[in-house]
Structure 1
Amino acid sequence: MSHAKLRPGPRRTSCLTCRQRRKKCDLFKPFCEVCLRGGFECLGYPDSDPPSSSSVQGKNPHARAFSCPGPDHPTIPAQVASLGTIDSATPEGYQCPNRTPTNHSLEPSILGVAALYAMFIPASSAHDGHTTIHCLEDFDCSWPQRQIQLTTYRSSQIDEPSSSWCSGEMFGASLGDDCLIRALKNLCDSIPQSIDATQMIGEGHFVQTIHEYRLKRVNNWFMTPPMSIHGPLLSRMRRSKTTIWCIYLGAQLFRAFSQDPFGTTARRYVGWVDKLEQKFSTDSCKNPSPDDISDRLFNQLELAYLKFVTTDSISGYILLQKALPGFLRLVATDADLYMEDPNGHLTVSFTRTISASRHELNRFIMYDTTAAFVLGVPPLVNYGYGDECDSASLLEWIHGIPTVLVETISRVNNWRAGSRADNWKVLEERVLSWQLRLIKADGEDSVLESMARLAVQESWRHVALIYIYMGMCEVSSHDSRVQSSIRQIIQLGELVANLSIEIHMFVHYVVAGIGAQLEKHRSFIYDRLVSFKGTRVWLFNGPQFSQVLDCLWHGAGAAGGPVMWDDYVWARHTVAPI
């Protein structure tokens, strides 16, 4: 009995994901909205290439994952990593070991639902009541070359979606420079309040990227901080999505600079620092809470730091100036942080504010004091002094400068700005009587590390003395007291040369270079400053100030001639005008 040859049935049209889940597909292309609403990765249709690698289809067809369209963008795993891993001690370039998945169900991930809801799902506009579609220029497409190289936590190998997913032609428009800002705003504004930012940051690629960045930053600190120092940052990231994006941008910027500081990618990231700063300058709520003001100030200081390190000192200082209103507003929320001066005017208490529990206040004062000192400009804030300083402040952990000495430098700044309230002999006595002491860091320190820290702190004493003599007493660099301190700084600098902690000698080298007479001292200082570049920077970029000193040495200081502090300020203005 012959059998009739059966004709093939109709071609299957459901997407591969809906077929695996046995769900009805809406056939929407390029992404099935049934999958998107559920937070699942749409694997595409049988008549087109799937948007993920074959490992998803062949090796683990039931792996739960979410993928933002973009080249080389790995899918985000279901397992939510702990936020605490961001600051755990892990070697740079660490790769998470393969883990056997314990849950293969196709449940939606938190970040998948939130991000897809933000970028692809129709949402009701609060302004006109009509339904609108969020910007399809997703976050990944807005980075340079529309590409992000990310390390993620996965249960198996990384999947790589097709690069055609992120083409500008797909969206019918080219990607502008402000796409990042629009994408960030759409994402942040649209994520439901019920979704915790902590859980978001715990997902996938954010964790490893930010972890590497924080590890790099902490490694540049004067000493390893206690775990309690990390608490405020983690709390801020839980409540502020903009803080997450600022730190993430910094992470990508540091990564780009470590690869090619003069490349197109690095330059474009620097441009996005300006874009993000403009958003902070224009967007403000009418009655912000102290936490809102604090978060905004933190973000502005983070962007100013990125400018200081990656661009130049003047660009960073301009952003620091823009952070001044936020600093004053935050100080105004606490009556203990301001005081009356002898004339009855309100001033910011330097001592209380620099030891305040909100670390962004300490950070602003440190930046303001150092910028006024090194750039030769008046401080942004009129500080008041009076209380005793606690030398064990956060500044000593991060920057290695005791509070007694940074307050002395701040007092000289105020004197040069016209205050004239302090007597130089009193300040000199405070600096000379300050007792050098070693603060024990967490863990065991080698003898070399302990000696290096003592060298940096002792050098700060001589920096303060030179500033008192040249900046306040207005003596020349040929004064015997100045030359004695310069020799001490050079000797201590030779002890820490080429060590990681040497980046904290930046100010010391600049101050010693102002009055250096001998060519061997000038050559040593010049070489050390030139080495402070890329991501090996404490706050200011070394090569720029090597040019300032070179201008000074060929001007007033030619042939070892006497130099006044105002000569240095003039040289700085010539090389890097504000």
Structure 2
Amino acid sequence: MMPAKSWSQPLHSTKYLSICTSSPPTPGAQSSTSWPTVRRQIPSSQLSPPPDDRMLKLTYFKPVKYQIDTHRESMLSHLQSSSIARRIKIVSFKIHEAVIKGEESRYRAIFSEWVHQFQLELCAMWNRGLESQVMSTHLLNEALELSYLKTILLSNYDMYPYLRYTTPTFLQTVFSDPTLWPDNTITSVSVAHILSSPRCELGNFIVMDTIYAMAYGLPQHVEYDTSITSIPDDSMNFEWAHGCPTEFQIILAQINQCRDRNPNAPDWRDIEHRLITWQSRSNSHHTEWESWMVVAWLAVQETWRHTLLAYLYMAVCGASSDEPRVQFSVSQIFQIAKTIRKPEQPAASIHLFTQYFIAGICARTEKHRLLARHKLSDLSESTHWLIRGTIFVPVLDHLWLGAGAGGQPVKWSDYMLSRETVLPVVV
């Protein structure tokens, strides 16, 4: 799948390419300030995160020791890979530090400019097509990190086409690794193999691709193999970061396939049966987690189960939002989410975009609509969601004031009309 031409055309502007030889200035300084790029190998002792690792402060479900070690090894590898990797990581640390201190709004303009320039630089490198396979893999990681930073900075309106642009590198990376592509007779990507691997950047791509495809009502960028529906608990290398059980991530990809009438999609009744009969499970982290975190993890699983049921009924089965099976799941989402303990760190929160987004589409009462709107708009809770809910609040407003006015039931087609009107995407 080749990137859309309309996406790459602005990249021919050369005024941004000068950042290839400089690093971003300190917040508060003039944006033209720069210092020479460091091109030497950096000792691991200088790159290792401090004991109060920034990422640990920004996650609700804390990783266990082997995951922390894996994360640090991966980060060191990326920092050694290229100048742009180091410069992006510097900006990432500064943004995360500002978030922890509650100062991100103060520096949002300059942060956004840095991220925008880095994005243009990456796209220009892809356009030249001169990068090795290893370097392309690192560029994918940097591109996905930029997308996450764009979310924090409220500037990720163009993420669906941006993911399209990174798709060829994602596929090249997967198909060149036999551990990620065990059956080389098929051209689809195994979701289970990716999410159980230590390659977090690839897992991030799948999570973002499936959720954006759901929210925009557009096809996923990759043909996924979802035939393996579960993986061993000790292989759960990814789900702690975003609070989504791996099985549900696979089911989300399947529902998107069903919605788009993909010939490889399973029967929707099989998906429904698995969701209805699914039981909350513990995992290997529980021995290291505090009891309140274990309870929260079980609750989050239930919110995901009901979210996917409501999405399945609306988007695949053509259900109306007033059907009892839909409204039951909506009520459960709001009720269970309310019981999840708030984090002690203001910057840490569970990624609940999908839950409040689907519940908001299906909500009929003013109480539920206001709650969904508040949660999607609340920057204190949604700062580190992979998708910032504020983007879709105007879409929900259009839906609620249009087809859903006065609590009238809506269908998925009504939501799509609102999305296409308020948040159009060139495909």
Same fold (TM over 0.5): yes
Shift of 1:292: 2.2
Larger radius of gyration: 1
| Local SS of the residue matching 2:240 | helix
TM-score, length-scaled by structure 1: 0.62
Q: Give the superposition deviation at 1:139.
A: 4.7
**Does 1:488 pair with 2:332?**
yes
2: CA distance between counterparts of 1:573 and 1:197? 50
The answer to whether the 8 Å contact 2:60/2:343 transfers is no
Amino acid at match of 1:489: I
**Residues 267-276 or 285-294, more deviating:** 285-294
Tell me which amino acid in the other structure corresponds to 1:247: K
Residue correspondences, number: 396
- Counterpart for residue 150 of structure 2: 307
Q: What amino acid is the match of 1:564?
A: K
Where does the alignment leave 5 or more consecutive residues of structure 1 unmatched?
1-133, 148-174
Q: Report if the CA contact (8 A) 2:400-2:407 is conserved.
A: yes
Aligned to 1:242: 84
Q: Kindly provide the amino acid, as one letter, of the partner of residue 308 in structure 1.
A: T
- Please state if 1:298 is matched with 2:153: no
Higher RCO, 1 or 2 (CA under 8 Å, sep at least 6)? 2
Corresponding residue for residue 112 of structure 1: none
Closer, same or farther: CA 535–457 of 1 in aligned 2, 3 Å: closer
Alignment of 1:180-219 (within 5 A): 180=34, 183=35, 186-188=36-38, 191-192=39-40, 195-198=41-44, 201=47, 215-216=54-55, 219=58
User: Given the superposition, is the C-alpha separation of residues 492 and 259 from structure 1 closer, same or farther in structure 2, using an over 3 Å criterion?
Assistant: closer
2:295 alignment counterpart: 451
1:358 matched to 2:204: no
Range moving further from structure 2, 253-262 or 430-439: 253-262
1:146 corresponds to which of 21, 26, 29:
29
Contact 1:339 1:384 in 2 (8 A): no
Contact 1:224 1:442 in 2 (8 A): no
Q: 2:391, 2:380 → 1: CA distance?
A: 9
1:32-66: per-residue Cα shift (whole Å, max 9, x none)? xxxxxxxxxxxxxxxxxxxxxxxxxxxxxxxxxxx
Aligned letter for 1:187? Answer: T
Q: Distance in 2 between matches of 1:248 and 1:534?
A: 24
Q: How does 1:308-323 map to 2 (within 5 A)?
A: 308-323=151-166
Please provide the CA RMSD for this pair: 3.1
In 2, Cα distance between equivalents of 1:461 and 1:223 = 22
Give TM-score, length-normalised by structure 2: 0.82
Q: Structure 2 matches for 1:345-494, cutoff 5 A?
A: 346-390=187-231, 392=233, 393-420=236-263, 421-441=265-285, 444-494=288-338
Shift of 1:376: 1.8
Does the C-alpha gap of structure 1 residues 535 and 272 become closer, same or farther in structure 2, counting only changes over 3 Å? farther
| CA deviation profile, 1:235-287 (whole Å, cap 9, x unmatched) | 33344443222121112234456555444x32122111121122222226867
CA deviation after TM superposition for structure 1 residue 295, in Å: 1.2
Q: Which moved more, 1:432-441 or 1:326-335?
A: 432-441
- Shift of residue 304, structure 1, vs aligned partner: 0.9
1:276 aligned to which of 118, 128, 131: 118
- 2:176 corresponds to: 333
Q: Deviations over 1:508-550 (max 9, x none)?
A: 1111111111222222222222223587331122333333222
Per-residue displacement from partner, 1:294-336 (whole Å, max 9, x unpaired)?
2111111000111122124423334322221210110120245
Identity %: 29
Structure 2 distance, partners of 1:574, 1:216, is 37
Instruction: Report the CA distance between 1:406 and its aligned residue.
Output: 1.2
Distance change in 2, residues 1:416/1:346 (3 Å): same
The superposition leaves residues 189-213 of structure 1 with CA deviations (integer Å, 9 ceiling, x where unpaired) of xx35xx43535536xxxx66xx87x
Give the Cα separation in 2 of the matches to 1:511 and 1:391: 29
Counterpart Cα distance in 1 of 2:149 and 2:374:
24
Residue deviations 1:347-392 (CA, integer Å, cap 9, x gap)? 2222223323322111111110111112222111111232342164
Matched AA of 2:58? N
